[in-house]
Amino acid sequence: MRAARGLAVLMVLMFSATSAMAAGFRLPEAGAKAMGMGFAFTAQADDPSAIYFNPAGILQLEGTNFMAGVTYVKENGGDFTGITPLTAGASVSETQKDLNFWIPNAYVTKKASPNFAYGVGTFAPFGLGQEYQNRDTSIFRGQITKIDLQTVVFNPTVAFKINDVLSVGAGIDFMYGKAKLAKTGNVAGVGNIFKLDLDGDGTAWGYNFGALLVPSKNWKIGFSHRSPFSLDIKNGDVKIREINSTIPFVPGTGGPFTAAQVFGGTSFDTKGSTRLDMPATTALGIAYIRDRLTIEVDLDWTWWSSYDALNIDLQDNKVLLPDSNTRKDWKDVVALRIGGEYRVTDPLALRLGFAYDPTPVPADTMGPELPDASRLQYTAGAGYKYGNWVFDGSYMYIQKKDRSVSNISGTTGFNGEWKGSAHLVALDIGYKF
């Protein structure tokens, strides 16, 4: 597994941090064909990305199949108008940076016999990227100025045909994850007192399984489930720089003291550890096939209630550097996904999709690291076969609903409204040997 971890590290380094494109920080962008149909793909699962969407589906693929691709994300920086603990009661506006991300996927499958198939896939099921314009002046700088969460999963998979109606599949999941966080310490009446950067990585294990029912040539019913991941980030690097050495404000015997006196200099290094609880997911889909037309409807559950807190344990605490314990209490949600494909000719297929993806983030615990809102997703795509080659492309527009939140408490939270949107383009290329 050391080789798998090394490859995972390489995959993460090759691609920028991914931004959450489903509600929360989940990323369903594991295949271009599925994206073109709003990710309503659990019952079809008829290309190598079935390893992600429903592993039982790989039995539908004859011979040996390879597919790889990438999704490009253009996220427009979220717009906030309102009050934060640093605006002294004044309503102001701030826009996050526009960011560009790349989400990779790659799969290999082989049908070894009429009743058995196997394969392996790699994809990025979770990710988060947010960055504010200026860490020295952002109205959120005391809470966060930048966050990157990158994950990649390697998923060996097997599938068995039970009878002419039922197939099942299962897999083991190895995750490598990397997280970065930046903030600027700020004290009222003093100003910025330091800049903090945390950088760490970790691993986690999980599993997945699925089933595919084909009761007739016109109907397919798919079910899939992925376990939660607990990503342990241990002994990450915490670097504190530009510690204020000019204004004494920390009380104590012989004080007051400057921040630099508290830390023992204008720079300070320590270690930090945390655990990110990433949710289980479950999908149920039904597809209707008639001649050249396929229509599918999926219900897609994300069990976000496992993400109840984000705690960061620091190795060397100071009066200005306590451990961080943040309540989250996210809610379980179910997304509705609808998609269709029309095969214009044997080589050419056209696709459309739509999804409603509700946010799991309660208003009272929403933070500037992820100002989330329910999303409407509009998708379109096309596929073309040329000999043994398959080309799939798709586009998605994500419209975040405007969301107003009032949750200021001490030095955290905000009272105001968020707006946001994103554009995605995906391309996969496949080959059948």
Q: Tens digit of pLDDT for each residue in 120-132?
A: 999 999 988 888 9
Q: Tens digit of pLDDT for each residue in 415-428?
A: 999 998 999 999 99
Q: Longest C-alpha distance within the chain, in Å? A: 85
Q: Tens digit of pLDDT for each residue in 43-83?
A: 999 999 999 999 999 999 999 999 999 999 998 888 999 99
> Structure pTM?
0.90
Residue 209: pLDDT above 70? yes
Task: Please list, in sequence order, all residues whose beta carbon lies within 8 angstroms of the beta carbon of residue 276, skipping any fewer than 6 positions away.
Answer: 149, 177, 179, 229, 230, 231, 233, 310
**Mean pLDDT for the chain?**
91
Residue 12: pLDDT above 60? no
Domain, as residue range, for 147 = 2-432
Q: Tens digit of pLDDT for each residue in 269-313?
A: 999 999 989 999 999 999 999 999 999 999 999 999 999 988 899
SS3 content of the chain, % helix, strand, coil (to 5): 10, 60, 35
Q: How confident is the model at residue 20 (pLDDT cuts 50, 70, 90)?
A: low
Q: How confident is the model at residue 8 (pLDDT cuts 50, 70, 90)?
A: very low
Contact 12, 5 (CB under 8 A): no
Q: Tens digit of pLDDT for each residue in 167-204?
A: 999 999 999 999 999 999 999 888 999 999 999 999 99
Q: What is the pLDDT of residue 22?
A: 61
Q: What letter does residue 409 receive in the DSSP assignment?
A: B
Question: Mean of the pLDDT values across residues 312-335?
Answer: 91
Q: Tens digit of pLDDT for each residue in 235-278?
A: 999 999 999 999 999 888 888 999 999 999 999 999 999 998 99
Contact 81, 416 (CB under 8 A): yes
Residue 418 backbone phi and psi in degrees, to 5? -115, 145
Contact 63, 111 (CB under 8 A): yes
Q: What angle do CA 216, 220, 223 make, to 5 degrees?
A: 140
Question: Mean of the pLDDT values across residues 214-218?
Answer: 95
Rounded to whole angstroms, the Cα distance separating 10 from 15 reads 9
Task: Please list, in sequence order, all residues whose beta carbon lies within 8 angstroms of the beta carbon of residue 24, skipping any fewer than 6 positions away.
Answer: 279, 302, 304, 307, 330, 333, 359, 360, 361, 370, 372
Q: What is the pLDDT of residue 14?
A: 42
CA distances from 414 to 54, 362, 400, 411 (A): 40, 13, 18, 9
Rounded to whole angstroms, the Cα distance separating 123 from 209 reads 16
Residue 6: pLDDT above 70? no
Burial label, 150 (beta-carbon count in 10 A; 0-12, 13-18, 19+):
buried
How many domains does the chain fold into? Answer: 1
Q: Tens digit of pLDDT for each residue in 36-45?
A: 999 999 999 9
Q: What is the pLDDT of residue 189?
A: 84
Residue 3: pLDDT above 70? no
* CATH number of the domain bearing residue 217: 2.40.160.60
Residue 224: pLDDT above 80? yes
Residue 401: pLDDT above 60? yes
Contact 27, 127 (CB under 8 A): yes
Beta strands in 242-345 (DSSP E): 268-278, 281-290, 293-302, 309-314, 324-327, 333-343
Residue 95: CB atoms within 10 Å: 15
Q: How confident is the model at residue 355 (pLDDT cuts 50, 70, 90)?
A: very high
